Amino acid sequence: MWKITTSSEDLGIGQFGGSVRMNDPALWPVIPDTQIPLTPLCTLTEALLPVRFLPPGMAMTVFIAPNRKANGFNLSTMRRYTVHQQSELQAARESGYSRVLLHGLTDQELSPPESAFILDRTFIRKEEFTEEEEDADLEDDDFGLEISKLSGRPAFLQDPIYEPSFRYTWLLQLNSFELEGIGPRYEGIFENGLGHLILDKQARKAQQGAEAGYFFIQFT
């Protein structure tokens, strides 16, 4: 099990914020009803895990919707990708307000659309749990620690949310307080809650432009 922290140097496993390292600007997703570009939250490369979960040379980027002025985040927009109970999952996935895009990984970032809200960039580091953290993650009967982490047990701030089929698996969790420490543009992200990334296990055989999973948040 690994904690997710940040690094000032590129460790090859991904990044928070910035633009997207892809070569096709037409793939950049937009909010369906306003056409405002979605904001890249994080990009993860095939080096994130010791097992193959993405095609060689590809990455997955989580995009989320900014507010209608594309200058930050607000509750009304974030509710479109909030899932507090199982019955809300399908609508959140279909809303288009969060996307998980599979794309080729380029050396340079794509120039973002002029109206895009771009987060402060930093790189992702993963650190193995200490024995104490592993014990704490397993201590609760239902949920793991409420930290940013890769693998382990998810923590849910509302009802537990289950994957719709065996095709999907929980991949990682992001803590809003930890993200806000990256830079001022993260202020208000997830409404002081947690974000969950669910991986489509078929992504390892998919083509550029495919959905590599889905992303939702919970808060109290």
SS3 percent helix, strand, coil of the chain, rounded to 5, is 20, 30, 50
What residues make up the domain containing 36?
Answer: 2-218
pLDDT at 70: 78
d(CA 27, CA 103): 8
pLDDT for residue 72 is more than 90: no
Per the structure, the count of domains in the chain is 1
- What would the mean pLDDT of 96-104 be, rounded to a whole number? 98
Query: Over the stretch 108-126, which tens digit does the pLDDT of each residue have?
Result: 999 999 999 999 999 999 9
Query: Over the stretch 159-183, which tens digit does the pLDDT of each residue have?
Result: 999 999 999 999 999 999 999 999 9
d(CA 162, CA 208): 27
Tokens of 170: 């929980």
pLDDT for residue 142 is more than 90: no
Question: Could you give phi then psi for residue 72, rounded to 5 degrees?
Answer: 155, -155
Q: Which residue would you say has higher pLDDT here, 72 or 141? A: 72
Mean pLDDT of the chain: 96
- What would the mean pLDDT of 41-58 be, rounded to a whole number? 96
